[in-house]
Amino acid sequence: MTATVYYDKDADKTRLDGKRVGIMGYGSQGHAHALNLRDNGVDVVVGLQAASKSREKAEAEGLRVTSAAEVAKESDVIMVLVPDTVQGALYKEAIEPSIDSSKTLMFAHGFNIHYKEIVPPPDVDVSMIAPKAPGHRMREVFVGGSGVPSLVAIHQDPSGNALANALAYGWGVGSMRAGIVATTFKEETETDLFGEQTVLCGGVTSLVKNAFEILVEAGYQPEIAYFEVFHEMKLIVDLMYEGGLTYMRYSISDTAEWGDYMAGKKVIGPESRAAMKTILARIQDGSFAKEWVEEDARGRPNMKAARERESTQQLETVGARLREMMPCVDDKKPS
Ligand code: NAD
Ligand code: MG
């Protein structure tokens, strides 16, 4: 293993003694950070808008909630856990007026710092603890006595203590129990975007959609097509997750394994590799970030149109009907 990994013994948790941690936002990540830190004895305050629906939830947990500007003023550590598209405005309005060299600014994803949507003063420590799990999982695992792994990165370290302080925060949210892997804001941001675009979200959905359409156009029943190219994917991914490609291939039939070797490289061939490289280049040179920030500022017209188109396609209507019929699947809808 060449990557640097930190564990419990590397954390100096006394660094949080007498320090107040301000958590901006109480969504997926915010609630998990705030509650885990609080349970570890850290002084926590949550920053939310007056009308926020999350306010009641945080207060019901016994957390103190106040405005983002007040939180920025009174906290030693400010962790920004509002949506990435909101962070620039929140920084300008609520954090910038009171940020100074006595405070540490923290993030759970590098987008706004890496693409310079937020430019903190040079005398402020800026670091990242990025948990590698959804917030609800992070809280659940912590309550069960363990933790989820995180990434740690340092953007600016004028105090010379940014890493030690970030690791203490990582201990506070429970990640030291699982290990914290060292990265940079650039690496975390670019690989995160590349992963979700080419594989996890964009790649997988397009692969399934194209295969489904080809089977249906060729006259096969949509329900059968759904089972073959969509439903079974989870079972295969579970095997990969547990034992890598080798274990998955050991578990499937020899016919499936042979077909895998023969067909896979034709489906994802030179053309797809070239597309992935273009996508990576657009992430690296900032074109993707610029386009997304502009789309968001215009009220997301293309995003809304794509959401409508994608959610009403046949793959989705057939899938919803089948999932309702399957007792083994707990069908979920956006709320
Ligand atoms: P979220 O959408 O779940 O929660 C956002 C919270 O911010 C909500 O409580 C909302 O009320 C609050 N909020 C919105 N606008 C606000 C404002 N102007 N002032 C104060 N509060 C405001 O967000 P999330 O998914 O937890 O993401 C937060 C950060 O964590 C992002 O940087 C994201 O990239 C990162 N991250 C998320 C996950 C995840 O599992 N969702 C995992 C790793 C990192
Ligand atoms: Mg990610």
Q: What is the mean pLDDT of residues 13-36?
A: 97
Q: What is the mean pLDDT of residues 33-54?
A: 97
pLDDT at 1 (0 to 100): 67
27 lines ligand 1 (CB under 6 A): yes
Token pair for residue 308? 């409508």
**Percent of the chain clearing pLDDT 70 (strictly above):** 99
pLDDT at 65 (0 to 100): 98
Instruction: Using pLDDT thresholds of 50, 70 and 90, give the confidence band for residue 328.
Output: confident
pLDDT digits (tens, 9 = 90+) for 187-201: 999 999 999 999 999
pLDDT digits (tens, 9 = 90+) for 218-272: 999 999 999 999 999 999 999 999 999 999 999 999 999 999 999 999 999 999 9
Q: What is the mean pLDDT of residues 48-62?
A: 95
Determine the residue of 26, 29, 141 to mutate for testing ligand 1's pocket, defined as the one with the most ligand atoms within 8 A of the Cβ atom. Answer: 29
63 lines ligand 1 (CB under 6 A): no
pLDDT at 21 (0 to 100): 98
pLDDT at 334 (0 to 100): 80
Q: Is 255 helix (H, G, I), strand (E, B) or coil?
A: helix
Helices (H), 118-195: 135-143, 162-172, 185-195
Distance CA 189, CA 196 (A): 11
Nearest CA to ligand 1 atom 34: 109
Distance CA 174, CA 180 (A): 10
Instruction: Using pLDDT thresholds of 50, 70 and 90, give the confidence band for residue 80.
Output: very high
Beta-sheet strands, E only, within 97-248:
104-107, 125-131, 150-156, 180-182
User: pTM to 2 decimals?
Assistant: 0.94
Q: What is the mean pLDDT of the chain?
A: 96
Atom of ligand 1 nearest to the CA of 89: 18
Contacts of 17 (CB under 8 A, 6+ apart): none
Whether pLDDT at 131 is above 80: yes
pLDDT at 32 (0 to 100): 98
Whether pLDDT at 289 is above 80: yes
pLDDT at 110 (0 to 100): 97
86 lines ligand 1 (CB under 6 A): yes
